[in-house]
Structure 1
């Protein structure tokens, strides 16, 4: 049973309109369009423009720049899910001879491959892709700026390599693979390599005068998988739903969750602001809220897609100017406005359809030394081991076929939780990555590492 969701209230809608109106006016953007998604559906669209009597709607294309990288990452994860590659494979295994093949697929997705931020001069975003017909032209003679795997360094050429990897393994152009495997299944009919009418024109706004200069639109060629695409708020709203819930025709919910998991820290200044990077997705903590998505900018256009998975709210903001409104701030504010004004209505509580008594036996209090924990069985069949002190670490666990459990988050992500039984079949203790959890603090009947003082608990002698 799903709780029916009402339309956004007039007050919320006005707050959203006010936020984009301020952004367009103060940022001096020729136009700005936005959309908000809640519970899997677009619930609000808005736009502001300097053209009298005309306003772009959710079907007008804007260039989305580096949001393209997230689409490229989806194609790579599809190859992994099919068993065609492993994220730990060095690029050289599948795409030999690039000179950057020591980096793994995962490192390229997370911008930890050590590659340069940009291709060699002239700047690729303002020049035709025909100047860089081969990967060697994109990478240059010295493709690396850092040792492979040592630090996060955002790299546009890295995603060119990932696009070439897709082409190599699929035997077709990147844009054809994208259309067939992602755009068509998700119904993203207005997301294209080249602009298709109606679309916005790209502009530069003079920094010290209210004057505009038209930006040239370039076909980025080899660099396309890093920033070529055009799209609309309607299409990106659908893409946001996919990045939240998955779609088995494209990627499972587990794979999109993997994309959203931190894979690399941001630069030093970004880390202090709570920013990091997943697999083709930017991550940040802002105002106590975990946000995922991606930003984009190319000459003439700014773009941002921001999702709060916990609130099930996403926002898309597109503008047709080289600089101006900080669209990442605008998108985050749109998410916050809806999440705070109209918080998500939780699903009704439902009991388990069936109770596994062997698992039920494990619920309740456990102790790691003197630290108190409680194990709970969730409605999804998973368990959580939560500390009763805020200073300790807990985790959620997924059950394995052999009756053990694998950690899903935090310190215990990937670690194995097992119930160790006595010869009579009763549970003696839990083993979590070598940590022994007992029913009583320092249970003398359990194999507590180092043993237990035979004199037991006592007062001051």
Structure 2
């Protein structure tokens, strides 16, 4: 079949005027950027966690870590209150860590969030060492599902420290390059952005600073192009992505879903969809695959309005078209 992305684009709300779309169906792959240059890169938000999940499972497959490896061991920070949290629990959001880092001083998380909504500021920007220091006294809760940016920031830091490199270099070497995702980056400062980097906007149209920062990278700081999204979908559907078993459900998650290493699997009608979404101050994203049907869809908009409904509906449309072929 020949994939036509225009119907998927026309089905989006008009506020999504700059959007990256990639799709795989019927053995065909297509990608396109609407409202911006084809090579434009955008924040994929918490879809970054899905990439970190692949990195985690790849590290397990390599024998570098196990699900029982603790943060204290991996980070060489046995004094931290987070030291006993295991990498396996972090990967499934069941470590007991809170959703956000417990930032103190003049830039508390509450103040950061308020300034993001009021002024479009980046609420993150911290280094890994700053994050580890700030989180050293964090209070661990019960080991149950709590969606945690802090948990995935620490998981990515632990994987990078174990491998003796930075998170960005690890992601490029072990996931992006093997899949041909040549436009992926994890900028630590705005100066690291390339000339094709899109600037995001809030749902109401306010421009937002880019979410750059070394610490937030594994949880929400990755940028990618439409071509990168297509390469990712192909690797997930064809089961050749490093750490591919990260997609296999291992624990219960809210909403009758199951979770692997970051990736959620949800039953919708007769289909089983494995997916992750994301939203930053200025961007929204959704990536999902039906591995049994061999179809996948990725949407990233430079407007921070949810794409979840569009993602599930678009994937169902692709599946129906593939079935007719």
Considering the TM-score relative to the shorter chain, is it more than 0.5? yes
Superposed, 1:243-322 pairs within 5 Å as: 243-247=236-240, 251=242, 255-256=243-244, 258-267=245-254, 270-271=255-256, 275-322=257-304
TM-score (norm 1): 0.61
Superposed, 1:37-186 pairs within 5 Å as: 37-39=24-26, 41-43=28-30, 45=32, 47=34, 55-56=35-36, 58-95=38-75, 96-97=77-78, 98-120=80-102, 121-122=108-109, 123=112, 126-130=122-126, 133-139=129-135, 141-144=137-140, 146-148=141-143, 151-186=144-179
* Aligned equivalent of 1:198: 196
Q: Which of 241, 244, 257 is 2:234 aligned to?
A: 241
Distance 1:157 1:175 in 2: 17
Q: Which of 195, 200, 212 is 1:219 aligned to?
A: 212
Give the 3-state SS of the residue equivalent to 1:180 in structure 2. helix
Distance 1:344 1:113 in 2: 44
Distance 1:57 1:39 in 2: 27
TM-score (norm 2): 0.85
Distance 2:221 2:64 in 1: 26
Tell me the alpha carbon deviations over residues 209-257 of structure 1, each in whole angstroms, 9 at most, x when there is no partner.
xxx321112422212211111112211111122122233xx62xxx51x
The answer to whether the 8 Å contact 2:82/2:138 transfers is: no
Larger RCO (CA under 8 A, 6+ residues apart) = 2
Give the 3-state SS of the residue equivalent to 2:278 in structure 1. strand
Runs of 4+ in 1 over 4 A off after TM superposition: none
Distance 2:127 2:231 in 1: 34
Give the 3-state SS of the residue equivalent to 1:35 in structure 2. strand
**Structure 1 residue runs without a partner (length 5+):** 1-5, 48-54, 207-211, 346-461
Q: Are 2:29 and 1:36 equivalent residues in the alignment? A: no
Give the 3-state SS of the residue equivalent to 2:215 in structure 1. helix
Matched positions, count:
304
Q: For the pair shown, which has the larger CA radius of gyration, 1 or 2?
A: 1
The CA RMSD measured in Å over matched residues stands at 2.4
* Aligned equivalent of 1:23: 12
Pick the structure with more strand per residue.
Answer: 1
Pick the structure with more helix per residue.
Answer: 2
Shift of 1:330: 1.2
Distance 2:129 2:65 in 1: 26
Deviates more, 1:310-319 or 1:180-189: 180-189
Distance 1:344 1:77 in 2: 36
Q: Are 2:170 and 1:187 equivalent residues in the alignment? A: no
**Structure 2 residue runs without a partner (length 5+):** 103-107, 117-121, 188-192
